[in-house]
Chains A and B, each alone.
Chain A
Amino acid sequence: MSVLRTENITKVYPGTAALDNVSVSFDSGKVHALIGKNGSGKSTLVKVFSGAIQPTSGKFFLNDAEMHFEAPTDAFSKGIATVYQELSLVPYLSVAENIFLGRLPKKRKVIDWKKTYAMAKEMLDGMNVDIDPHEKVFKLSMWQCQVVEITKAMSFNPKVLMLDEPTSALANNETQRLFEVIRQLKKKDVIIIYISHRLQELWEIADTVTVFRDGKYVGNGEIAQLSHKDIIRMMFGDVKINTRPKDLMAQNEVIMEVKGLTRKGKFEDVSFKLRKGEILGIAGMLGAGRTELLRSIFGADSFDSGSIIIDGQKSYKKSDTVHMKSLGMGLTPEERKTQGIILIHSIRDNLCYSCLDRISNRHVIDNKKRIQLANKQVDELEIKISGINANANSLSGGNQQKVVIGNWLNNEPKIMMYDEPTRGIDVQAKQQIFNIMWDQSRSGISSIFVSSELEELLEVCHRILIMYQGRVIGEVNPDNMTIDELYAICMGGIINED
C-alpha cells in the first residue's frame, strides 16, 4: 500500500496560477482519474509529479517521504513513471529492445539477446497480452504500442504510473483491450493516475475521480457515486457565455453541401449543408475527426467516398488544394507554425501567398497591389508588426494567426474554415478573430469553425455539429444549449433528451 499526497502545491506562471494551493491524495491499487477542461491544471500537476517542472511552493510526498525533483529522471528513480500521449517508442526496433532501451542486459559487454527477449516475454505475459517481443514496433497497432509503452514503464517497478490520455488515439475495441491491461495492473499495488478527455470512459476504468478547474482542486469522489451531470458541473462551475451580435443572420442559399463524406479510419458518412453567411461550428473531443474532416474538404487530404458540392461544382476525391482554392475555399490549419505560415519569410509575403494569382498580371506581380493588400489586412485585423518586411517568426502567436487568416481573406474566399484558430492566443486576439468571422458573415462569407473550447463555439456559431469518433452524431442550436450539455454530448457521444 502506497500513497501519493500533495500539500498546498502551487505553480505560478507569469500572469496565471496554473496550480493554486492543491492538496490531494491518491492511494495504490486504484485508478484515479484526473479531469478538467483545457488549462484547468491537471496536466500541470502531472508535470510536477513527473519532474518536468518544479512547483512554485508546496510539497508532495510519496509514502510520507518528501519528493524533490530536478529532472524527469529523478521522478523515475523514485518510482514515478509517466506514459505520455506522444509515444516515445523507436519504430524500427523490436518490442523487447524498446522496453529495455538503454539498459539491455549484457554478458561480457555484449548484448544478451536471449535474456532480453525472455525478460520482455515475461513482462508482457504478466500484462496478459499476446505481443511478440521480436516484433518491430512499427508493425504494431496503436493500442499495442500503448501497452508496450506501459510495459516499459512497469519494467522499472514504479509505485506510481501516470497515463496521459492513453485512449485518445485508439478506436473503441482497442480501448477495451487497453482497459483490460490497466485492470490487470491494479492488482500490482500501483497508484495509477489516469487523464482522459473521454468522460464516458471514467465509469469503465476509474475508481475515483478528481476534478480541477482554473488551477484549483474542485472535488473528488468515488466514480460509482457520481453522475455525468455532477462531474460536468464540477468541471465548469458557472460559465458566462457571451452572445453573438443580433444582426448576424445566415442566408437561405446553400453554398456548400457535403454528402456521405468518408475517409477510412478518420471519419465516416459525414453530411451537412452550409448556408451563405453561416458560421457553422464543429464540436468534438481531440481525435473525433474534426481536423481530418476539414483537411479532406479543403483537399489537403484525399477522401474515399462521398461528395462535396460547392456552388453546384463537385470537388475531386484526390487531394487538390489548388482546385479547392479556385472554388473559393480557404483553410487556416491547426498547426499554424508548420502548416499555416512560412516563418522565415516576411509578413508581406505571408499575407500574399494564397492570392498570388490575384496580385499578378500575366504572372508578373503588381507590387503596389501586393503592398496595398498586405497593409489592408495589417490594418483591418490590427496585426501588431514592427514592419511589413519583418519575418513572420518575429510575431506572437496571436499575430501569426491573424497573418494566416489575413492571407486567406486577401484571396476573397466564399467559405473559410478555421481549425483551432484560438489555440494559444490571448483573450483580446480571440475576440478579434470572432469579430473577423462575424464581419465575414455579414458580407455573405460562410465559416466553419472548429474549436476545443466549447464556449467559443456557443458564442460564435449559428449552428454546431457534434463529432464523436469520426461521425457527426448531432446538430445543436447554440441558443438553447448550455455548455454543460454540449460538453456531455461531446465527451459521451450521447444526446440526452432531458
Chain B
Amino acid sequence: MKINMELFSKKKTNIFLLDHMIEILLLVLILIVSCISPAFLTVGNILNILRNVAMKGVIAYGMCLVIIAGEIDLSVGSTVALSGVLIAWTSKNLNASFGIPIEWGALIGVVFAIAVAILVGFFHAWARHHFNMPSFIVTLATLNILYGLAAIVCEGFPIVNAFPKWYVFLGTGKIFGIPFPALVFILVFFAFWFLTEKTDLGRKIYAVGGNSEAARLNGINVWRTRVFVFCTIQVMCVLGGVMNSAQVRSATFGFGRGWETQIISSVVIGGTSMLGGIGTIWGTIIGVLFTGIISNAMTLLNVNEFMQYVVNGSLMFCAVMFNTYMTKKRN
C-alpha cells in the first residue's frame, strides 16, 4: 500500500515536471548562462533583455490569442513597419503642410495607425469568417500588401526628424530606472493574463479555437470573437511599431521584417498549440523570455549572428515536438 502511494506521488511529480518543462528549462538556461558569463546576471543586462524582447513580446501576447483562437497572423511584421512609417509620415506632412507641431502630429499619427491596424484586423476576420479563407493565406497576402504600402508611404527611405521628444521617450525613456518598453511589456502581460484567465471573452476565445462548431452551437458569437483577436494583435503591432521606431528615432519599411517567425516560435515554445484551443499568456511570456535570453547570451558570448537563426529554428522544432508528444501522452 505504502509503495503504491509512493509510486502514485512519483507519477504526479513527473507530470508536474513535464507540465512545467519550459519554466524549468528557463531556470536551467539562466543558471548556465550566468555561470558562463558574469555579465549576464546584472540588473543592467536583465533590464536590457526586457527592453529588447518588449517589442516582439507585446505582439507575442496578441499572437498567443490568435493561435488559441485557431488562427494565425503572419502580417505582424509589416504592420510594425507600416505603423511606424504612417506615424512619421503624418507627423512630418502635417507639420510641413499645415504647420502643426510634430508633438501633435505624431499623436494624430498614432491614432491614424491604430485605426488602420483595426481595419486590417477586421479585414482578416472578415475574410476568414465570411469567406472561410485560411487565415494563413489571408495574412500572407496582407504581409506583402502592407509591406508594399509601407515602402510606398516612405518612398523607400527612412523618414527622420519626424518624432517629438515624448514619442522618442516611448522607445528609449526610463521610469524609476526601468526602460519604458520593459514596463509596457510587463503591464500588457497583466492585461492579457486577466483577459484570458478571468473574462468570459477569454473563455470564448478558447472555445472558438478548441472547436468552433461546438462554440457556435453553444450560442457563442464566433464572428465577434474572431474580430476581437485579429484586431487585438494588429493594435499590439502598432504598439510594437511605436516602441521600435521611437528607439531608432526614424521609420522605414524594412522594420519588423521577419518578426512573425520569431514571435510565433516564442508563442509555440511557450506551449501554445498550433491546433488552437490550448495555450496560456504565462507560457507566452516564458517563451518570449526564453528566446530573448538565448539571443542575449549568444550576443554576450559573441556567437555568430547567423548561428542565432539556427538555434532559434531548432528550438522551435524541439518545442513543437515536445508539445505534440505531451498531447499524445495525455490522451
Interface residues of A (CB under 8 A from B): 298, 300, 321-322, 324-326, 331, 333, 338-345, 349, 352-354, 356-357, 359-360, 363-365, 367, 391, 393, 407, 411
Contacts and interface: CB of A to CB of B under 8 A. Distances in A.
A444 to B, nearest CB: 21
A188 to B, nearest CB: 44
Contacts of B214: 338-342, 353
A277 to B, nearest CB: 23
A359 B201 CA distance: 12
Given A342-B277, A356-B200, A365-B199, A321 B216 contact: yes
A339 B207 CA distance: 12
A211 to B, nearest CB: 38
B314 interface: no
A362 to B, nearest CB: 9
B155 interface: no
Contact of B211 (A322, A338, A363): A338
Interface of B: 198-204, 206-207, 210-211, 213-221, 277-278, 330-331
A113 B195 CA distance: 59
A377 to B, nearest CB: 15
A360 B195 CA distance: 13
Given A353-B203, A393-B331, A345 B210 contact: yes
A349 B211 contact: no
A364 B199 contact: yes
Nearest to A330: B219
Nearest to A392: B210
A389 B259 CA distance: 36
Given A353-B203, A363-B199, A343 B218 contact: no
Contacts of A364: 198-200
A360 B50 CA distance: 34
B196 to A, nearest CB: 11
A326 B206 CA distance: 21
Contacts of A352: 203
A299 to B, nearest CB: 9
Contacts of B202: 365
Nearest to B204: A356
A333 B211 CA distance: 14
B219 A325 contact: yes
The 5 closest A-B pairs by CB, nearest first: A325-B219, A342-B210, A360-B200, A356-B200, A353-B218
Contact of B219 (A324, A339, A359, A391): A324
A344 B277 contact: yes
A364 B330 CA distance: 30
Nearest to A352: B203
B146 to A, nearest CB: 31
A492 to B, nearest CB: 33
Given A345-B277, A360-B199, A393-B331, A407 B218 contact: yes
Given A339-B214, A354-B219, A411-B219, 12 more contacts: A321-B217, A340-B214, A341-B211, A343-B210, A344-B210, A344-B278, A345-B206, A353-B215, A354-B218, A356-B200, A365-B202, A365-B203
Contact of B220 (A322, A363, A367): A322
Q: Identify the interface centre among B198, B211, B215, B218: most chain A CB within 10 Å of its CB.
A: B218
A40 to B, nearest CB: 32
Contacts of B278: 344
Nearest to A323: B219
B265 to A, nearest CB: 22
Contacts of A356: 200, 203-204, 220
A338 B203 contact: no
Nearest to B210: A342
Given A345-B277, A356-B203, A365-B200, A300 B220 contact: no
